[in-house]
Every structure is written in structure tokens, then in C-alpha cells.
């Protein structure tokens, strides 16, 4: 499911992918449910593609979120996103003890906590693995689009 949950640079919160097109995607805000277009020039990242720097490499965000869910028994994070840097890092140390202290910033931890809380509020399943059927559909090629247009009698 995290492959369809998106972060859009410059826009607060998280978005669920509704449909894809040639030049834009339609997303739905997990905060207020409003649908809006996201154009190709906007930077969009699926949560399934995010990872956290650790001393042994990277840990996928999915694993960090699962650990947070275990720690919080499925509830909201016990530390708020507006907590001090030392409180944020103490929380992350409990969840991911081997995070890279030079590469992970307080703003990253705030974002993870905010995302976690949004996912829990919307009851997004962190355990669900993406299958190829759940993958984001690719937009048709130019040749296929041309065929569809000509088949419609135009």
C-alpha cells in the first residue's frame, strides 16, 4: 500500500494515488480527502521508495514505521513532531538504534513522525506487501494513444 501513498514536495501531508495520466496524476489528500492534480514538474515520492540512513546501509521506511507501530501498539506516536531535537532523536533511537547520526536530521524525524500519525489515522496497512497487480499503472505509449484516438472514429 505504501507504493500508492505519496509525498509531494511543497505540499503538506500525504496523498493517495487515485489515477495516472500522460501529464499528471490525480491524488487524494489523506488529511481532508480533497482530490487534486499533481503535474510532472512536481517532485513526488512514494513512501515505499523512502529509506532511512543507518550505520550498516539503509533501512526501508516501511520497517521503521512497523517498529513505531509495535512501540506505540498501533496508536499515535508518543512524541509530537514539534518536540525538541533531543526528544526526537531519543525517540528514533528507541525505534531505530543504529540510525546514522550524521545523515539523519531533526527535520527528517519530524517528517517520519508526522507521516506515521497520518498513516495510523487513516488506518493504512503497513504489513501489506505490494504485488505487481497493485503497482501504479503506466501511461499508454504514444502509439497506443494514437490507436485509441483513431478507433473512436476521429
Q: What is the pLDDT of residues 110-144, one digit of tens each?
A: 999 999 999 999 998 887 655 444 444 443 333 33
Going through 1-144 in order, the beta strands assigned E by DSSP cover: 5-8, 15-20, 24-29, 35-39, 44-46, 51-54, 57-60
Same fold, 1-49 and 50-121: no
Q: Which three cell numbers stand for residue 129?
A: 506487501
CA distance 91 to 100: 14
Q: Does domain 1-49 have CATH number 2.30.30.730?
A: yes
Average pLDDT, the chain: 84
CATH class of 50-121: mainly alpha
Domain boundaries, the chain: 1-49, 50-121
Task: Name the pTM for this structure.
Answer: 0.79
Q: What is the pLDDT of residues 73-108, one digit of tens each?
A: 989 999 988 999 999 999 999 999 999 999 999 999
Amino acid at each position: 500500500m505504501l507504493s500508492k501513498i505519496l509525498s509531494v514536495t511543497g505540499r503538506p501531508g500525504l496523498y493517495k494515488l487515485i489515477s495516472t495520466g500522460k501529464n499528471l496524476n490525480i491524488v487524494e489528500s489523506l488529511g481532508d480527502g480533497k482530490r487534486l492534480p499533481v503535474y510532472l514538474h512536481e517532485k513526488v515520492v512514494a513512501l515505499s521508495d523512502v529509506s532511512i540512513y543507518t550505520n550498516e546501509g539503509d533501512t526501508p521506511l516501511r520497517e521503521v514505521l512497523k517498529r513505531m507501530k509495535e512501540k506505540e501498539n498501533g496508536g499515535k506516536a508518543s512524541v509530537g513532531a514539534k518536540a525538541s531535537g533531543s526528544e526526537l532523536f531519543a525517540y528514533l533511537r528507541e525505534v531505530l538504534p543504529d540510525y546514522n547520526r550524521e545523515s539523519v536530521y531533526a527535520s527528517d524525524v519530524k517528517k517520519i513522525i508526522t507521516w506515521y500519525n497520518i498513516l495510523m489515522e487513516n488506518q493504512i496497512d503497513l504489513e501489506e506487501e505490494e504485488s505487481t497487480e497493485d503497482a501504479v499503472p503506466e501511461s499508454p505509449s504514444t502509439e497506443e494513444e494514437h490507436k485509441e484516438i483513431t478507433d473512436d472514429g476521429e
